[in-house]
Amino acid sequence: MGKNTKRSKSYYINNAKRRKNNELISNMKGFLCTTSTREKECVKEAYNILNEFAKKLYGSKNFSPNNEEKNCDSTIVVDTKIVDEDEESEEDIETALKSEVAALKCQNSSSSEQRLFQQVFVRVNNCIFISANISDPVELSISIMDSIIDSKMTITKHLVKLLPVQKTCRAFSDDIIKTTKELVLERFPKHKLRFYIA
């Protein structure tokens, strides 16, 4: 583009739409990763470590203990009517196409849900948030730390910190208080004790 040319408005709108799909929002679980310089290598290392230990804890890497399997029926029930052979063949083609479209939609939705870990766009340099589709990210991070302590070897080169995040919220005092109350009620029993050590 030349010096005096101006980009169209649709260029900026399309870029904004692209980023909204993968932004950090409230009520997300995951891991906050930090790196010194190379973010791409850090993301690769984090994916490798998280997938490896999730496979050890939960079985296969596509298994998510938080999600239930969705039954996708590729067959569609159509009322049976007595019609000519030509109309039957047209209806058969229509039902076959409808069932194929339903099966493809089911495959697309299930493939996006099968990812255990997905990088989320954060507007901070050298900080990466990886959303996790597991029930408790703390359990996974503890197993990673235990294996590092047992082996006494470094696993990563670019990944500096891997912190589990149980729930995200907006930076308003009301939201922080509400989220903290929810987490405290989940973690601590309802017995009235004098103090807790966390």
E strand segments, 70-158: 117-120, 127-132
For the chain, domain boundaries: 28-64+114-168, 66-113
pLDDT number for residue 77: 41
Tell whether the model's pLDDT for residue 116 goes beyond 90.
no
Confidence (pLDDT) at 19 = 58
Decide: 31 and 141 in contact? Cβ < 8 Å. yes
End-to-end CA distance of the chain: 58
pTM surpassing 0.85? no
Between 50 and 76, whose confidence is greater? 50
pLDDT, residue 24, reads 84
> In sequence order, what are the beta bridge partners of 159?
35
Give the pLDDT score at 83. 43
Higher-confidence position of 114 and 30:
30
Strand partners, 109: none
Backbone φ/ψ region at 126: left (φ over 0), alpha (ψ -120 to 50), beta: left
Instruction: Report helix angle 39-58 to 137-151, nearest 10.
Output: 100
Which residue in 170, 122, 151 sits closest to 52, CA to CA? 151
Helix residue ranges per DSSP H, 3-84 = 9-20, 39-58
Pick the residue with more confidence: 126 or 197?
A: 126
Which pLDDT score is estimated for 163?
A: 94
pLDDT confidence of residue 190: 73
Token duo for residue 174: 């009301």
| pLDDT tens per residue across span 60-103 | 644 544 444 444 543 334 444 444 455 666 678 888 888 888 88
Within 8 A by CB and 6+ apart from 73, the residues are 102
State mean pLDDT over 102-126. 76
pLDDT tens digit string along 134-191? 888 999 999 999 999 999 998 889 999 999 999 999 999 999 999 998 888 887 777 7
Rg over alpha carbons for the chain, rounded to the nearest Å, is 24
Closest CA to 54 of 130, 131, 141, 126: 141
